[in-house]
Structure 1
Amino acid sequence: MLKGIIFDMDGVLINSEPFHFQVWRETLKARGIHIDYEVYKPCIGSTIDFLMKLLHEHYGVDLQDIALIAEMKSVKARLMEENGYPPLIPWVKELLDRLQQAGYAMAVASSSPLSYIEKVTEHWNIDRYFQKLVSGEQVQNPKPAPDVFLKAAESLGLSAEECLVIEDSENGCRAAKAAGMVCMAYFNPDSGKQDLSTAFTVVEGFEEVDAAFVEKTYCHYHHLPAVVCETRRLLIREMEKEDIPRLMEICAQETSADACEGVAKPLKEELEDFKMYRRYMYELCDMGYWCILKKDSGEIIGRAGVEPKLWNEKNTVVELGYVIDEKFRRRGFAYEACKAIIEEAEKRGAVYLYCRIKSANTPSLKLAEKLGFQKMDYHLNGDSEDMEVWRCTCHGNH
């Protein structure tokens, strides 16, 4: 279960990497050293000690050159006095607010000195979001070693498995992976061309990242069923392997025969194929068929969802399907579930949704009309003559 979010600071909370490079460039220029960005880049996300090793290797700087570090701090203070603190990353305060309201414990785990972390978070009034501030200087090994993240988790009273890390650098992503934590990378163009391939997912902005997105990222990393959406009476979540026998029972009901979504493979095949289905549909496509549960009892009463399909070998569409246990029909559950799923599909970028309904399936035809679907003059190769095609436009994409 996800309980804690650990943030890197430089490049994630504040857009500071260009500033840090400027500080070191001016400091070294006074020594007659013109630092190349490609030499500097590997230290992004790591500590001063790591940078000193790079400067030693490339420019012969003494590893124990305390005066150089003092000069750097002086330049840094002057530039901050002239230009102020590096700015917050857009939408980061809103993200912190959303995550705090969702009840997550939060910490900063940065390679910067603790005093600087404290000053930055206080200056931008974001210190109130974090229970703990941890510096790479407080641990033995800098990023890409996992030490700072493990210490942050420990300080929150959490295990590594209960945490998610938000990073912007190659070193940070590698450190999160080494710590056994799911990593969500923020692509910051000002952090240089970072290799973020060790992160589980990459986002390009925080404006649409919320608790549900973070929770889904965590669940997919750990192969857990994520919640898709909720209604007044229903919880709709991704399937897990243990759900399949119950769903097969529903699909096998005689009254489910007219439901296109109700067509199923033998149980053995369904179980064998589920791992691949979960990986492809849920984790890569962000779609799939999901379980419908009654909130008051937790009972699975059906499944519904959207899947990408190739129609007539040339048209890629997103198709909506559903099937409800016959004991729970005529209570409005199908409408409630499908309406919520359409709204969720809109949020995930769907423009049109399609469904296929047999002309004799009056309840589904009425439901499609109620949901805003319209019948199309289109026939899918391989379908029987009595199969109709319906389409709705997702209102969020007009």
Structure 2
Amino acid sequence: MKAIIFDMDGVIIDSEPLHMQLERELLEEYGGTITREEHEAFVGTTDYKIWSTFKERFHLEPSVDELIKIKRQRFMENLHKVKLVDNFYEFMLTVYNEKYLLALASSNSRKIIDKVMDIFDLSKYIKVAISAEDVSKGKPNPEIFLKAAKELNVTPDNCLVIEDAFNGVQAAKAAGMKCVGYKNPNSGNQDLSDADLVVESFRQLSLDIIKGLLGES
């Protein structure tokens, strides 16, 4: 069997602007400030990586766990504003109907992933969902993608990852998987050059292209 593993933020849901807004607001509440360019380097990494870095750099008063809790709560409260990435749903249905196994591997929390799966009714299609809490090391470490492949019972070389961030592309390639870099303008200036293919829309991903990347005739 062949599998397609989706990142969530910026690939399934267009949520990167909300993440960045909430992180910036929370950081500023405690006296920190960061440029957009600096902030974009954290896209695709875990909340722990972001807030442990911010706490050390800006000497923030709350604990890392407290900062993560506040940010995740605010994200949940604003999740109703988030929409699916354009043409994602149609693409997902196409590959699902072609019998590809589908998984989600996200640096977000289990609670938020479950909520997204529920809101957009994705569970009937996406059978495996791996969260930041399911792994010991976040992207760019490949652990999250390797775990998704293992749960799907598919070897890494039979997996294609779709990612919008530098950290995710690095993780996918380190896992020995094919990778499509999705250039989401809302994910900032991400270096996707190590991906096997870079696209600007799911409409550019035909079945022939998917099959070619996965070495199918």
Aligned to 1:29: 28
Greater share of strand residues, 1 or 2? 1
Q: Deviation per CA, 1:166-216, whole angstroms, max 9, x where unpaired?
A: 101000000001000010111111101000011011011012423222111
| CA deviation map 1:66-87 (0-9, x unaligned) | 322232233324434xxx2411
CA contact (8 A) 2:6 2:162 kept: yes
Q: Which SS does the other structure have where 1:6 is aligned? A: strand
Q: Deviations over 1:269-303 (max 9, x none)?
A: xxxxxxxxxxxxxxxxxxxxxxxxxxxxxxxxxxx
Q: Deviations over 1:138-185 (max 9, x none)?
A: 111100000000000000011111111010100000000100001011
Q: Which of 145, 167, 171 lines up with 1:171 in the alignment?
A: 167
Gaps of 5+ in 2: none
Q: Does 1:46 align with 2:45?
A: yes
Which structure's CA Rg is the greater one? 1
CA distance in 2, matches of 1:148, 1:77: 23
SS at match of 1:126: coil
Report percent identity of matched pairs.
36
The letter for the 1-side match of 2:97 is Q
Question: In structure 1, what is the Cα distance between the partners aligned to 2:78 and 2:124?
Answer: 26
Greater helix fraction, Structure 1 or Structure 2: 2
Confirm or deny: 8 A CA contact 1:40 1:51 kept in the other structure: no
The aligned amino acid for 1:68 is L
* Alignment partner, residue 16 of structure 1: 15
**Cα RMSD over matched residues?**
1.7
Task: Find the aligned partners of 1:73 and 1:168 in 2 and give their Cα distance.
Answer: 21
1:44 Cα shift?
A: 0.7
Aligned to 1:210: 206
How far apart are the structure 2 equivalents of 1:52 and 1:63? Answer: 10
Look up the match of 2:57. Answer: 58
- Rounded to whole Å, the distance in 2 between the matches of 1:126 and 1:29 is 35
1:113 aligned onto 2:109: yes
Give the partner amino acid of 1:43: F
* Residue 143, structure 1, aligned to residue 139, structure 2: yes
Contact 1:143 1:171 in 2 (8 A): yes
Could you state the TM-score of these two structures normalised by the residue count of structure 2? Answer: 0.93
* Number of residue-to-residue matches in the alignment: 217
- Structure 1 position 121, deviation (Å): 1.8
Cα distance in 1 for partners of 2:63, 2:140 equals 22
Name the residue aligned to 2:71: 72
TM-score (norm 1): 0.52
Amino acid of the structure 2 residue aligned with 1:201 = L
Q: What is residue 181 of structure 2 aligned with on the other side?
A: 185
- Asked if 1:134 corresponds to 2:130, the answer is yes
Alignment match, 2:83: 87
CA displacement, residues 72-121 of structure 1 (integer Å, 9 cap, x when unaligned): 233324434xxx24110111110001001111101000100111111112
Deviations 1:16-46 (A, max 9, x none): 1001001112222222323322332222111
Residue aligning to 1:313: none
Structure 2: how far apart are the matches of 1:63 and 1:195? 32
- The offset of 1:54, in angstroms, is 2.3
Deviations 1:246-270 (A, max 9, x none): xxxxxxxxxxxxxxxxxxxxxxxxx
Tell me, what secondary structure is at the counterpart of 2:82? coil
- Given that 2:48 and 2:64 are in contact with CA atoms closer than 8 Å, whether structure 1 keeps it comes out as no
After superposition, the Cα gap between the structure-2 partners of 1:42 and 1:63, relative to the gap in structure 1 and judged at 3 Å, is farther
Change (3 A) 1:77 1:161: closer
The alpha-carbon distance between structure 1 residues 117 and 78, as it changes in their structure 2 partners (threshold 3 A), is closer
Corresponding residue of 1:4: 3
Mapping 1:1-398, distance limit 5 Å: 3-61=2-60, 64-80=63-79, 84-219=80-215, 227=217
